[in-house]
Amino acid sequence: MLEQPITFKPQISGPVIHPIRVLLVYPNTTEVALANLGYQRVYTLLNDMDGVVCDRYSLPNDWKPEWQSLKSSALRSHELNLPAHEFDMIAFSISFEPDYLHAVTLLKYFNIPLESNDRGREHPLILAGGSAVFINPEPLAECVDAFFIGEGENLADQFFNLFTHSDWQDPRELLKASTDIPGIYVPQFYPTICDEDTIVGYTPEPEVPERVIRYWTGKTEDLCTHTEIPSETTTFKDMALMEVTRGCIWACRFCTAGFIYRPPRLPDLQLTYDSLQNVLSKQDKPSDTIGLVGPSVTDHPDLLGLAHRIVAEGKKLSFSSLRMETLTDELVDLILISGQKTLTVAVDGPSERMRNVINKAATDDFIVEKCRFLTQKGILHLKIYSIIGLPGETDEDIDQFITLVERVHKVYVEACSERGNIGNLTIGLSPLIPKPGTPFQWHPMESVASLKKKFLRLRKTFGRLSYLKLSFGSPNEAFLQTYLSRGDRSLIKFFRNYLDQDHDAKAALKQNQKEVESFVYRQYEKDDFLPWDIIDHGYRNNFLWDDYQRGLKERHTPVCDTAVCKICGIC
Ligand code: SF4
């Protein structure tokens, strides 16, 4: 069981001895960076710290991954206009594994050696945090000096305080001391054990913890996350965002949000919105839409109260994800009043059987009736989203999905005809990426060839339905993402190849196809070494494995009820 809240003892206090400059880098375009609340949160946290000056950097909006270099003017920090080498530390914020490729590209652009071993005191310390790296930091372990494993609130303070309150010539001198902070992972102190070319374990140095505890914040008042850097250029344009839920109670077995942010927590919504309004009041043209974000925002008991307040102020609402079970009359009315015309019904599994495998109890009849209800209420466009390539999925599950879509299509067209206008019914499908930190972490990804065959069949079948659009997540991209998610330190070879092959990921994957497939298509067994087991998420023994087995038997696990539940060991 994780003891929380964790604090670094002794607390470091007293005057600042060594002020530091940190460049916070989001390895994607500025538009994408500013849509990420975690990145904005850390930027504010660091600038609130004594002795820390934090500037930010993200790539130009027209940047393409294949570009070999950038003009030096496009590589300077956004506010102080400084080049990267003038910072003591460069901290990457990485929420999505494909951004690993952009991170290594940026090190090249910044003229910083890719591997920690090749860097010295003339180079900044390279740090990384964000949900992708706290699921599995190992793919970047040869490139990053220290990782933040867990949530940024308090963890970042403890780490940077150590550096501002110590005397040093090279920040690397303090890396060993930083491993006393729960949530800090310094891979150089965890040499690997190899069996021929395969990594099969670690031998942590004597002074460092055997495993690194994933840090999470236990204080509700620290959960106050919203847009901090308003900009016309974000993906969400003139929408301001606020976090409504941290973690998720539903425990869908494919989903990292339901596992790595345990226990689920509820921010104080009025407090967060007041704080967001304070930011908006400083804008020339305040955003007129408030985006409510979180894995399942309707789980917050105060959501409706907040939504009424926002609508009463004349603003529009947007919801990042809504569980279909929670779409009540009142909520749909609010959504319609605020101008939202599209709703996504995430069925997540193609058949009732597959929904049991992922721990989601929703029958086809329930889904069809929910779609009828939403269309009759006035929702113009409906999206049905499902994952494909789930454990044990067969052609029969795909047959059942086809029947389900045909039934939804029928009720959608009928309800639209009754009210006299029609939009689109979109069917979105994406391949399962078996993510570390979830019960499916042992499961292989379905082969690219088999996924393409399924997509072709569905395209042919659904092509004859009017008002229906299809969107398929690319199996090749899922293959790359699975490799980046499940990999270990040997991925350094892939990153080198990627940079040498003019940033062509496909060519770099081909150079080592067999090894890559051994990560992507591997069925892990219960006692197999998992590279990401270096992270301790706090589960009691075997909880995730047992949950995986329950899934394969199509059995359910109860949703989180933090007041009484003890099953996974985290509460
Ligand atoms: S102990 Fe229960 S409520 Fe707490 S995180 Fe685990 S499953 Fe959820």
pLDDT in tens, 407-444: 999 999 999 999 899 999 999 999 999 999 999 999 99
Give me the pLDDT at residue 231, please.
64
Q: How do residues 15-40 score in pLDDT, each as one tens digit?
A: 899 999 999 999 999 999 998 999 99
Give me the pLDDT at residue 12, please.
67
Domain annotation covers residue 69: yes
Domain annotation covers residue 244: yes
State percent of the chain over pLDDT 90: 83
Residue bearing the CA closest to ligand 1, atom 5: 263
Give me the pLDDT at residue 168, please.
93
Give me the pLDDT at residue 3, please.
47
pLDDT band of 82, cuts 50, 70, 90? very high
Least confident of 12-16, 327-331, 381-385, 469-473: 12-16
Domain annotation covers residue 545: no
Residue bearing the CA closest to ligand 1, atom 6: 568
CA distance 316 to 338: 5
CATH number of domain containing 375: 3.30.750.200
Domain annotation covers residue 423: yes
Residue type, 500: D
End-to-end Cα separation, the chain, in angstroms: 7
- Residue 44 CA to ligand 1 center (angstroms) comes to 30
CATH number of domain containing 297: 3.30.750.210
Same-domain check for residues 199 and 66: yes
Give me the pLDDT at residue 287, please.
84
Q: How do residues 123-145 score in pLDDT, each as one tens digit?
A: 999 999 999 999 999 999 999 99
Domain C-terminal end among 303, 322, 337: 337
Domain C-terminal end among 431, 466, 486: 486
pLDDT at residue 326 above 90? no
Same-domain check for residues 60 and 146: yes
Same-domain check for residues 53 and 195: yes
Residue type, 142: E
Q: Edge-to-edge, what's the strand order for the sheet holding 289-293? A: 239-243, 289-293, 316-319
- pLDDT greater at residue 249 or residue 236: 249
Q: How do residues 553-570 score in pLDDT, each as one tens digit?
A: 999 999 999 989 999 999
Domain C-terminal end among 303, 337, 371: 337
Q: Edge-to-edge, what's the strand order for the sheet holding 425-431? A: 342-348, 381-388, 425-431, 468-472
In sequence order, what DSSP letters do the residues of 176-208 get, joined into one string?
Answer: HHHTTSTTEE-GGGS-EEEETTEEEEE---TTS
Give me the pLDDT at residue 219, please.
80
Domain annotation covers residue 447: yes
Domain annotation covers residue 347: yes
Give me the pLDDT at residue 5, please.
47
- Residue 62 CA to ligand 1 center (angstroms) comes to 43
Same-domain check for residues 396 and 478: yes
What total of structural domains would you count in the chain?
3
Q: How do residues 358-400 score in pLDDT, each as one tens digit?
A: 999 899 999 999 999 999 999 999 999 999 999 999 999 999 9
Same-domain check for residues 67 and 208: yes
CA distance 210 to 403: 51
Going by DSSP bridges, is the β-strand pair 342-348/192-195 parallel, antiparallel, or unpaired?
unpaired
Give me the pLDDT at residue 218, please.
81
Give me the pLDDT at residue 8, please.
45
Same-domain check for residues 373 and 251: no
Residue bearing the CA closest to ligand 1, atom 2: 565
Point out the ligand 1 atom lying closest to the alpha carbon of residue 568: 6
Same-domain check for residues 300 and 225: yes
Same-domain check for residues 150 and 101: yes
CA distance 26 to 5: 27
pLDDT at residue 230 above 90? no
C-alpha dist (Å) from residue 42 to 123, 157, 510: 22, 10, 37
CA distance 157 to 161: 6
State percent of the chain over pLDDT 70: 96
Same-domain check for residues 267 and 403: no
Least confident of 1-15, 244-258, 526-540: 1-15
Domain annotation covers residue 185: yes
> Quick one: 154 exposed, middle or buried, by C-beta within 10 A (0-12, 13-18, 19+)?
buried
Say if residues 279 and 327 touch (Cβ distance below 8 Å): no
Cut 0.85: pTM above it: yes
- Report residues whose beta carbon is within 6 angstroms of any ligand 1 atom: 262-263, 560-562, 565-568, 570-571
Which domain does 91 fall in, by range?
20-213
Same-domain check for residues 328 and 358: no
Same-domain check for residues 33 and 152: yes
- Residue 6 CA to ligand 1 center (angstroms) comes to 18
The average confidence (pLDDT) of the chain is: 93
Same-domain check for residues 265 and 410: no
Average pLDDT for residues 224-249, to the nearest whole number? 80
Q: How do residues 141-167 score in pLDDT, each as one tens digit?
A: 999 999 999 998 889 999 999 999 999
pLDDT at residue 532 above 60? yes
- Residue 263 CA to ligand 1 center (angstroms) comes to 6
Residue bearing the CA closest to ligand 1, atom 1: 566
Give me the pLDDT at residue 232, please.
55
C-alpha neighbours within 13 Å on the C-beta side of residue 82: 16
Give me the pLDDT at residue 236, please.
54
Could you tell me where the DSSP H helices lie in 429-540?
A: 448-462, 475-486, 491-500, 505-510, 513-520
- Residue 125 CA to ligand 1 center (angstroms) comes to 36
- Residue 272 CA to ligand 1 center (angstroms) comes to 25
Q: How do residues 164-215 score in pLDDT, each as one tens digit?
A: 999 999 999 999 999 999 999 999 999 999 998 899 999 999 999 999 999 9
Domain annotation covers residue 13: no
Average pLDDT for residues 468-488, to the nearest whole number? 97
